[in-house]
Structure 1
Amino acid sequence: MDYFQIMNSACLDVQLDFNEDMYNKFMQYKDMIKEWNEKINLTAITEDEQMVKKHFIDSIKIFKFSPLREAKSIIDIGTGAGFPGIPIKLVKPDVDMTLLDSLNKRIIFLNEVINKLELKEIKTIHGRAEDFSRKIEYRQSIDVVVSRAVANLAVLSELCIPYVKIGGYFVAMKGPSVEEEIKEGKSAVSILGGKIEDIIEIEIEDSNLNHNLVVIRKVKETPKAYPRKAGTATKKPLK
């Protein structure tokens, strides 16, 4: 399979340029994931074609939400092996990217990727999302927050919306069926100062995979009470 061609098609679909240099960096990244995956658990997807489609192209397709192309600052909450943050950075090099994860082993891996690929204006944070959105330099200061973390919308919203500046966005990458989750999470989104603005369907080239982007606009300040202390959002999601 011609991975360059399929990734180029994905970028064309979201009106982004793709070139040989970007492609080479993606392939280096892929090799590093496979190498490190033998030492630490980064992903269950280890086959090249699946990695390109389910990780790289899936991450690139977040640009179906077109305002992302104008974002100056992005934070990826619960980034894991760097998805979608590193693919976003590779196809939009001028963005100021922050990758946050609670597991230090993953942060060590991500720092190695950043150094190897010589990426600029990108940093990692080892910590919990609830703690850093309380800090003045992060609270309500980011253009777009993205997350592909596995948590329901009410929980994710409490972890992510406090970072978003008013007028900015939280984009949650979700599976194919989101209706129930949106219904259950609507009230939490509103409490936290957000408004569900769009649900964008995503299709992955040369596959039958499809996902959704849940787009939440920050319309008012997040009340000071949120996020609650670490772990509370998961145990007692806002209703």
Structure 2
Amino acid sequence: MIFKDIIRRVACEYGLTLTDGQVEDFNTYFELLVEWNEKVNLTAITAPQDVAVKHMIDSLSCYEPSIFKKGARIIDVGTGAGFPGLPLKIFRPDLKLTLFDSLNKRILFLQAVANALGIMDINFVHSRAEDGGKNKQLREQYDIAVSRAVARLNVLCEWCLPFVAVGGFFIALKGSQYSLEVDEARGALELLGGEIVKVENVKLPGLDDVRAVIYIKKVRKTPLSYPRRPGMAEKNPL
């Protein structure tokens, strides 16, 4: 079965309807991912069914219409091969997306995908999260920060919440240890100005593994001393 048929089917199984144009865009994204993956380490997942479910649909699992308002400014921190930010942009073209990653090779791949899809209104930032969070042009400038499979939640909070404006959301896509990570992150959330408003369990088509999306609202400004210098969040989590 070709990728276009697979992505249309699994999206339908998950309860999402894709237009023909979106199916074409996801197919182009898939083809470039497989092609570039031969020279740049982007993902260990390359089988069409797995990419469709574990990357594309998993990325869309965080989509909550009441949070993703029209024209919302979104930053994907540690985007890697573009997940979840790029699938969200394909699904909702009106979103103002910034793809943020510390490895320039991945940024070059993402620029190639955006060019192939004809998407002109994406910002690309090559930087470490600790530096980006101190940048006045980025700090507290976004309605939503998203991050997937980057670090434990207490670390992610320090990296991501500084980007979010008060009243906005940090959305973390997590795996089977999400409940433990939520407990670990309570102190960090209190310190950084975040408050968990919802934890949504995720069941992807054809998979029995445990996944969840954690929605964190930014209720207060993050103290200017955060994020700390590179490496500190991982060595000494809040």
TM-score range, shorter chain: over 0.9
With the length of structure 2 as denominator, give the TM-score of the two structures. 0.94
State the superposition RMSD in angstroms: 1.4
Contact 1:71 1:143 in 2 (8 A): no
Give percent identity, aligned residues only: 42
| Helix, strand or coil at the partner of 1:145 | strand
Output the amino acid matched with 2:9: Q
Cα deviation for residue 11 of structure 1 reads 5.1
- TM-score of the pair, normalised by structure 1: 0.93
Q: Which amino acid aligns with 1:163?
A: F
The residue identity in structure 1 corresponding to 2:11 is: M
Q: Distance in 1 between matches of 2:10 and 2:221?
A: 41
State the distance in 2 between where 1:181 and 1:65 align: 25
* Equivalent position of 1:117 in the other structure: 117
Q: CA deviation at 1:177?
A: 3.1
**Unmatched 5+ stretches in structure 2:** none
Secondary structure in 2 aligned to 1:18? coil
Report the CA distance shift for 1:218/1:102 in structure 2 as closer, same or farther (over 3 A).
Answer: same
- Could you tell me which residue of structure 2 aligns to residue 185 of structure 1? 185
State the secondary structure of the residue aligned to 1:114.
Answer: helix
Deviations 1:7-60 (A, max 9, x none): 244353xxxx52011001101110101011110100000111000000000001
Describe the SS at the equivalent of 2:93: coil
Structure 1 stretch 207-216 or stretch 187-196: which is displaced more? Answer: 207-216
Moved more, 144-153 or 72-81: 144-153
Determine the structure 1 residue equivalent to 2:38.
38
Larger mean CA deviation between 112-121 and 56-65 belongs to 56-65
- The reply to whether residue 95 of structure 1 matches residue 99 of structure 2 is no
Matched to 1:203, the amino acid is K
Return structure 1 stretches of 4+ with deviation > 6 angstroms: none
Mapped to 2, the partners of 1:210 and 1:61 lie a distance apart of: 13
Unaligned runs of 5+ in 1: none
1:228 corresponds in structure 2 to 228
| Alignment: residue pair count | 234
Q: Indicate the residue corresponding to 2:73 in structure 1.
A: 73
> What is the CA-CA distance between 1:64 and the residue it aligns to?
4.2
Evaluate the alpha carbon distance shift between residue 151 and residue 65 of structure 1 in structure 2; reply closer, same or farther with a 3 A threshold.
farther
Corresponding residue for 1:26?
A: 26
SS at match of 2:99: strand
Give the secondary structure class of the aligned counterpart of 1:62.
coil
Read off the aligned partner of 1:6 and give its amino acid letter: V
Q: Which amino acid aligns with 1:236?
A: N
Structure 2 distance, partners of 1:204, 1:75, is 24
Q: 2:127 maps to what in 1?
A: 127
